[in-house]
Structure 1
Amino acid sequence: MGAVRRKYTPQYRRDAAHLVIDTGRAIRAVADEIGVGEQLLGRWVAIERSRMDEPPPAVDLNERAELERLRAENAQLRMDREFLKKAAAFFVAENASSQTPRSQ
């Protein structure tokens, strides 16, 4: 029977790779510290570095149109909210002035 192969989550692999990338420490030192093989950690570091160099995915035309529509809707809702805030303040002031006793 062979040794049981350990499985690591993608998040663990990224975190381990960033221990090397972000701190500038040697792969060997980090591998010894976290208890993984040096070559294995080296592969994770190489994969993460190549992933970091990739440009972000482009937004397609449908997503861009939806984004523009949502931005316009957001701007309209902000204007509506500002108007309602001013209207509420006006009516509160009107109500307060009509409830004050008048001197005779």
Structure 2
Amino acid sequence: MTRKKYSKEFKLDAIALVLEQGYSRSEAARSLDINANMLGRWIKEHQAQDDQAFRGNGKLTEEQAEIRKLKEQVRRLEMEKEILKKATVFFAKETK
């Protein structure tokens, strides 16, 4: 059985039923055919992160994108450093 994936719009609409239209979590969950606990998690995430909630796969925050870029740069620089070490050893042997 595969997990259902819900769009950001669906989640925001479900949250609006509870927060704006006065439905209880269980009523909204039952009408949308989802688990009430899941709806509760969505509401908590939305209240905690607001515009960053429900970014989806691959959509990084600015900080996450910067961290990913810096990690890639560190990996590249470490590789270049190893190449230079090997070249130094190679040329030191050649001059003897």
Q: Provide the TM-score with structure 2 as the length reference.
A: 0.48
Q: Which of the pair has more CA radius of gyration?
A: 1
Q: Provide the TM-score with structure 1 as the length reference.
A: 0.44
